């Protein structure tokens, strides 16, 4: 029996079974991929079996191997995984109602069917297998991606993704560096480009304020906006001032020195505000925008998932729609636009970001790296907050260090 193991197929499980239970006469056996080659139906992963604190984490070498179910999907061998505050929140059950609806829109499965759940929204790795309709990628391509929160995550040896969520990794970055960027990059891109309306063609000399500039989204947004020629003002703590200036921030306001609205009000008004802080910032921030000039306030801190968790999907969405409509109308009569920004996975956005990275205009900001055996410690570090960049878990050993 002669089998070309690189032939694209939807039935990846049968193909792998045939590979391991037959003796092909001519097969290239220099496979780079699995540490579980004896049976590619399971893999190492960190999972949670219920929502809670850090003690819900469980390491297993028997997690289900991902399967290609649609012809536009790819399986990626994970080299490194980036962590985000969303992962800590999801571990505690944040957004569970909405994610459950997204995974099972017809509500066929029983409650809790998402478990065992694998967290991790950032991935950098190597494509192992492609579905029949995948044309832009091939096996062994190095890629990076931001994983939608309703899908199994990257704290595992392998992950399955849609090809339109994946992009070729920047050649100038290692996998560890690349894993620090996709989620914050696509979140910032969605908020600034899709919602805020800025682009490389219209950004020059625009005055943009980033509230909370030293975290993951803020550090990426500073660099992208400066690459496009904007004037960027940032709020952060005093000990982060040198850090954000090093990324290109033109003006920095220290929020620990007193109410930031006072020094910000003394500045020339802004064309766009990106709010990573939330809270009472809405009360004064919109007064900093240029009126009747198309200026926009975009906040990434929204009550959408909290509403659906608390009220259920239908009532939560109605409450959310009423809230955003009321706020938008309230500020529209003042000549400014109020918007909510959301994460949106996008391979094409990562393609454009890759060009900026390889041109040296954006660099990853990795604060700390952990081994695959240290996932609980990585989450403990994330929970402390006040990050100066990203936390990355190196997974290339596939659990052998455990």
Parallel/antiparallel/unpaired status of strands 207-211 and 231-236: parallel
- Written as six digits, the tokens of 366 are 């990795």
* 216-249 per-position pLDDT tens digit: 999 999 999 999 999 999 999 999 999 999 999 9
Q: Per-residue pLDDT tens for 36-74?
A: 333 479 999 999 999 999 999 999 999 999 999 999 999
Q: For a pLDDT cut of 90, what percent of the chain falls above it?
A: 68
Q: Rounded CA gap, 83 and 311, in Å?
A: 28
- Listing DSSP states for 209-239 in one string gives EEES-SSHHHHHHHHHHHHTT-EEEEEE-GG
Cα separation, 347 vs 164, whole angstroms: 5
Round to whole Å and give the CA distance between 105 and 99: 10
Section 267-293 average pLDDT: 94
Would you state the pLDDT for residue 6?
A: 40
What pLDDT is attached to residue 153?
97
- For residue 26, the model assigns a pLDDT of 37
Q: What are residue 337's DSSP bridge partners? A: 296
Q: Which helix (H) or strand (E) covers residue 313, if one does?
A: helix 313-332
> How many C-beta neighbours within 10 Å does residue 384 have?
7
């Amino acid at each position: 029996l002669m089998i070309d193991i690189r032939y694209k197929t939807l039935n990846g499980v049968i193909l792998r079974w045939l590979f391991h239970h037959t003796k092909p006469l001519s097969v290239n056996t220099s496979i780079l991929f699995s540490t579980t080659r004896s049976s590619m139906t399971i893999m190492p992963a960190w999972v949670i079996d219920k929502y809670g604190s850090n003690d819900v984490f469980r390491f297993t070498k028997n997690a289900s191997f991902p399967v290609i179910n649609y012809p536009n999907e790819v399986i990626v061998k994970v080299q490194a995984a980036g962590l985000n505050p969303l992962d800590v929140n999801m571990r505690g059950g944040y957004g569970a109602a909405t994610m459950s609806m997204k995974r099972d829109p017809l509500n066929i499965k029983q409650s809790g069917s998402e478990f065992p759940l694998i967290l991790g929204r950032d991935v950098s790795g190597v494509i192992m297998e492609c579905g029949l309709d995948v044309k832009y990628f091939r096996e062994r391509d190095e890629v990076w991606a931001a994983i939608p929160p309703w899908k199994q995550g990257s704290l595992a040896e392998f992950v399955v993704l849609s090809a339109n969520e994946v992009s070729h990794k920047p050649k100038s970055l290692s996998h560890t560096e690349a894993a620090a960027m996709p989620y914050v990059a696509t979140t910032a891109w969605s908020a600034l480009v899709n919602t805020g309306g800025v682009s490389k063609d219209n950004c020059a000399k625009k005055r943009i304020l980033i509230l909370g500039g030293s975290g993951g989204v803020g550090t990426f947004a500073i660099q992208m906006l400066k690459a496009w020629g904007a004037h960027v003002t940032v709020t952060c703590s005093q000990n982060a001032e040198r850090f954000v200036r090093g990324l290109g921030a033109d003006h920095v306001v220290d929020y620990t020195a007193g109410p930031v609205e006072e020094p910000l009000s003394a500045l020339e008004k802004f064309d766009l505000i990106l709010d990573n802080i939330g809270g009472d910032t809405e009360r004064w921030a919109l007064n900093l925008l240029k009126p009747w000039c198309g200026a926009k306030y975009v906040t990434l801190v929204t009550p959408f998932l909290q509403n659906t968790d608390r009220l259920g999907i239908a009532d939560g969405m109605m409450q959310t729609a009423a809230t955003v409509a009321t706020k938008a109308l309230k500020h529209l009569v003042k000549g400014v636009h109020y918007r909510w920004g959301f994460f949106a996975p996008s391979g094409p956005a990562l393609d454009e970001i890759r060009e900026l990275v390889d041109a040296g205009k954006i660099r990853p900001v990795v604060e700390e790296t952990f081994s695959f055996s240290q996932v609980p410690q990585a989450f403990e570090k994330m929970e402390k907050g006040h990050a100066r960049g990203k936390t990355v878990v190196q997974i290339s050993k596939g659990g052998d260090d455990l």
